[in-house]
């Protein structure tokens, strides 16, 4: 079956002849201005574009691409350090960096797809199966990395990307190449199957619900443990937990498999089974919780980060079983005001003022970073966004607003929410974001408390003062009172002084309820 991949048109009479001599390409790469990653990316893109617009023997093309591949990965990593730190909508420089990374991976993928089509069109090919396996693996890898650029900037990958990915894997299966080992790096070997499974797993982790750093961690985890997931032919199943449908003859991303679904299974459909992978994640969570990781463990170095367990818990939820909606959503078009961050929530919930702040010169009290703001601050210091509710449920709302460069919102942010017809502020968390419509920004906010109180928090040792929110007990939901504070406040049994309405009480932290890169929420008990 002929491949129908997205590739550029080739010219018979190019204005410039592509450089294909390995030594010349190596010299070019050594002289790239890496101190200026955008300039380096532009120069690299232009060379690959010249290569991928003219007819070249597939083996010669692949040799050139193998040299470019290393530079693309290195420069893309530098570019990511710029756009991954930005809030939404992306500011101009971050958007330019993301666009440069997108172009590099897109062009690299074009090259390997062109080489594969050349091999497919040959009447007699002297290339080995391993050579073709390497070409397919590299093409899937490039598009997988391209998808990561989209995920980290909260854009959905285009359907053409999934069409190509699915075709390439199916072609590899038909040629019995999907389990052939090829070099991934100087130290590691890999297969088409594992690279494809890694791509599927990242998509199924709901990356629009994650911060860019966590998306990178998911990709790394999937690369390490994708061999514990398996792709198999469709058939009868006792349970649909950890079963996902991959339609290889479509342009669709994988989806959780629903037993007795209305749509019948089609030719080319396979199941991705993650049951064994879920067991591995459970084991890693237990080892991290008990602080008993063996010295020779194969987890990444940043697994020691306290939030890594939270990420693994997220993966269990999305890879181990299909998440179910708790509440039905309904359409709505009312407006809301949205303040982003703990400082904004503290300000608006506190009646548009901040509580008095201890003098940092007294009693060795340290003011925490930029978390404290003068009580004299005005509302002008905060960007209060006006959003439209596109749909709503008992647990949250989907929000949309025209893009404004002054907005600065991230997945995991605490938000203060006030509906146009409401008198008070509620508290929510940004759970997902999409930037697909470049004129509008869409986010999803989960409401975690109908009301809150603005409080001051002082850590006892070392003495650090910061702002926080006190969420009242909800007896009907058996939800105890809790505190929201900036990241880094939580510590098991840590003592805090809580200032509310001019009174100070001492509390001890009892339980971590939730933690993101932007805040921590924990339970406490009052110490008399």
- State the pLDDT at residue 291: 84
Query: Sign of the CA dihedral 478, 484, 490, 495?
Result: negative
**pLDDT, tens digit, 9 for 90 and up, residues 477-521:** 788 999 999 999 999 999 999 999 889 999 999 999 999 999 999
Could you give the residue ranges of the DSSP H alpha helices within 127-190?
A: 129-152, 159-174
Which residue bears the tokens 């929530």?
A: 345
- Residue 12: what pLDDT? 87
pLDDT for the residue numbered 394 = 76
CA distance 399 to 435: 12
Q: What confidence score (pLDDT) does residue 377 get? A: 53
Q: Over range 368-393, report the average pLDDT.
A: 67
| 64 contacts 33 by C-beta, under 8 angstroms | no
pLDDT band at 436; cut points 50, 70, 90 = confident
**Model pLDDT for residues 62-94, shown as the tens digit of each residue:** 999 999 999 999 999 999 999 999 999 999 999
Strand order in the sheet with 255-256: 230-233, 269-273, 243-247, 255-256
3 state SS of 321: coil
Mean pLDDT over 332-342 rounds to 88
* Range among 106-120, 332-346, 400-414 with highest mean pLDDT value: 106-120
pLDDT surpassing 60 at residue 235: yes
Please count the other Cβ atoms lying within 10 Å of the Cβ belonging to residue 297: 12
Q: What is the dihedral of CA 371, 372, 377, 378, to 10 degrees?
A: 30
| Residue 153 per-residue DSSP state | T
For residue 423, the model assigns a pLDDT of 81
Locate 351 and state its tokens.
């009646």
pLDDT tens digits for range 354-376 = 554 454 444 444 544 444 444 44
Q: Which two tokens stand for residue 453?
A: 């109180």
The three-point CA angle 14-18-20 to 5° equals 150
Q: Taking the domains of the chain in order of start, what are their residue ranges?
A: 22-203, 230-320, 330-527
The pLDDT value recorded for residue 463 is 80
Token pair 């791509």 is at which residue?
A: 199
Q: 188: how many CB neighbours lie within 10 A of its CB?
A: 9
Are the C-beta atoms of 365 and 459 separated by less than 8 Å?
no
Tokens of 502: 């001019």
């Amino acid at each position: 079956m002929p491949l129908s991949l997205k590739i550029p048109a080739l010219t018979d009479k190019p204005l410039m002849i592509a450089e294909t001599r390995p030594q010349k390409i190596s010299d070019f790469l050594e002289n790239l201005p890496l101190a200026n990653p955008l300039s380096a990316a532009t120069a690299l893109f232009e060379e690959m574009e010249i290569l991928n617009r003219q007819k070249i023997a597939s083996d010669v093309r692949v040799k050139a691409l193998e040299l470019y591949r290393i530079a693309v990965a290195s420069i893309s990593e530098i570019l990511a350090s710029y756009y991954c730190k930005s809030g939404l909508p992306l500011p101009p420089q971050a958007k330019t960096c993301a666009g440069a990374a997108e172009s590099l991976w897109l062009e690299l993928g074009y090259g390997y797809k062109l080489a594969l089509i050349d091999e497919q069109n040959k009447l007699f090919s002297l290339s080995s199966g391993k050579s073709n396996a390497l070409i397919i693996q590299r093409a899937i890898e490039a598009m997988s990395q391209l998808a990561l650029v989209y995920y980290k900037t909260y854009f959905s990958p285009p359907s053409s990307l999934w069409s190509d990915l699915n075709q390439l894997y199916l072609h590899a299966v038909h040629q019995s190449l999907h389990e052939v080992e090829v070099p991934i790096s100087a130290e590691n070997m890999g297969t088409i199957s594992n690279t494809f499974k890694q791509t599927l797993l990242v998509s199924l982790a709901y990356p629009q619900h994650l911060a860019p750093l966590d998306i990178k961690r998911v990709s790394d985890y999937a690369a390490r443990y994708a061999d514990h997931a398996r792709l198999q032919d469709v058939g009868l199943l006792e349970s649909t937990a950890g079963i996902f449908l991959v339609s290889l003859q479509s342009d669709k991303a994988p989806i959780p498999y629903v037993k007795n679904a209305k749509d019948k299974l089609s030719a080319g459909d396979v199941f991705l089974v993650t049951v064994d992978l879920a067991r591995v994640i459970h084991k890693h969570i237990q080892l991290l919780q008990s602080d008993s990781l063996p010295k020779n463990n194969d987890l990444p170095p940043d697994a020691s980060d306290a939030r890594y367990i939270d990420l693994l818990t997220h993966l269990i939820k999305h890879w181990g079983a299909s998440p179910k909606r708790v509440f039905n959503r309904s359409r709505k078009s009312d407006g809301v005001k949205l303040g982003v961050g703990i400082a904004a929530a503290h300000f608006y919930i506190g009646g548009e003022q901040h509580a008095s702040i201890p003098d940092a010169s007294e009693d060795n009290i340290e003011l925490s970073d930029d978390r404290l703001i003068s009580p004299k601050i005005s509302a002008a210091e905060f960007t209060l966004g006006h959003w439209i509710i596109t749909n709503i449920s008992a647990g949250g709302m989907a929000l949309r607003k025209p893009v404004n460069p002054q907005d600065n919102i991230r997945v995991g942010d605490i938000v203060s929410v006030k509906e146009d017809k409401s008198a008070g502020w509620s508290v929510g968390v940004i759970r997902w974001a999409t930037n697909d419509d470049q004129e509008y920004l869409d986010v999803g906010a989960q409401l975690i408390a109908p009301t809150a109180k603005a409080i001051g928090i002082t850590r006892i040792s070392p003495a650090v003062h910061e702002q926080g929110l006190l969420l009242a007990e909800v007896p009907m939901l058996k939800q105890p009172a809790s505190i929201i504070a900036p990241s880094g406040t939580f510590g098991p049994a840590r003592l805090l002084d809580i200032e509310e309405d001019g009174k100070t009480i001492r509390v001890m932290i009892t339980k971590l309820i939730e933690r993101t890169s932007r805040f921590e929420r924990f339970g406490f008990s009052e110490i008399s």
